[in-house]
């Protein structure tokens, strides 16, 4: 539960970007708040609103029962607050319900934010000699059976598993230095 709680703020943010390139363009052009909600995919808006409601209601339970100042309704603040009281929460009779709700939320948000459960993140130029490809990290959801990896756009043989990321980062860095 701690893991999913920590991930929720990122999932919450990524549900917005998952709404597609058109929506992103509209948001960037307009500074009006209404544009953001209008352009957001309705399913994403729903998941985001339930993340806020669920986190706020569990934070409310903690602050009521422990006589604490309730946190603000910002998602990262709520998640941090619950994280700080996780030991207390796991001993609470409602712990099972909370774990289930958080797990469902995280799953729904993940499906929306990363429809193929893969996120592509640009990493840099491929460090293999004579390769002009670009590297992308394929970040999979943590419950996916395939490991996350970095793959070159030109050659599928140029791929690095998660465990090699540190070494690869050094190679990219060195190669960049040589090209400069």
Candidates 24, 43, 61, 131; binder of Zn ion (CB under 5 A) is 131
Q: Which of 40, 44, 126, 137 binds Zn ion (CB under 5 A)?
A: 126
Which range touches Zn ion (CB under 5 A), out of 29-37, 126-134, 138-146, 167-175?
Answer: 126-134
Name the token pair of 2.
Answer: 């701690």
Report the C-alpha gap between 120 and 138 in whole angstroms: 5
* Residue 172 lies near Zn ion (rule: CB under 5 A): no
Which CB atom, from 68 or from 164, has the smaller least distance to Zn ion? 164
Number of residues engaging Zn ion in binding (CB under 5 A): 7
Q: What is the 3-state secondary structure (H, E, C) of 108-153?
A: HHHHHHCCCCEEEEEEEECCCCCCCCEEEEEEECCCCCCCCEEEEC
Residues 132-151 that bind Zn ion (CB under 5 A): 133
Output the six-digit token pair for 166.
Answer: 């540190």
> Contact with Zn ion (CB under 5 A): which of 158, 159, 169, 175?
158
- 152 touches Zn ion by CB under 5 A: yes
The H-or-E segment that residue 120 falls in is: strand 118-125
CB 118 within 8 A of CB 133: no
Which chain residues interact with Zn ion by CB under 5 A? 126, 128, 131, 133, 152, 155, 158
């Amino acid at each position: 539960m701690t893991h999913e709680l920590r991930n929720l703020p990122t999932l919450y943010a990524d549900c917005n970007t998952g709404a597609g390139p058109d929506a992103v363009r509209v948001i960037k052009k307009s500074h009006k708040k209404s544009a953001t909600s209008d352009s957001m995919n309705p399913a994403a808006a729903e998941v985001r609103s339930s993340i806020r409601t669920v986190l706020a209601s569990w934070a409310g339970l903690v602050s009521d029962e422990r006589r604490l100042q309730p946190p603000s309704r910002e998602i990262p603040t709520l998640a941090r607050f619950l994280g700080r009281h996780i030991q207390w929460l796991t001993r609470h009779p409602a712990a099972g319900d909370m774990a289930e709700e958080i797990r469902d939320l995280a799953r729904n948000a993940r499906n929306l934010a990363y429809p193929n459960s893969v996120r592509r993140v640009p990493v840099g130029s491929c460090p293999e000699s004579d390769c002009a490809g670009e590297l992308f990290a394929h970040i999979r959801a943590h419950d996916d059976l395939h490991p996350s990896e970095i793959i070159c756009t030109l050659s599928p043989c140029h791929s690095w598993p998660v465990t090699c990321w540190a070494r690869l980062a050094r190679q990219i860095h060195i190669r960049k230095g040589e090209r400069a």
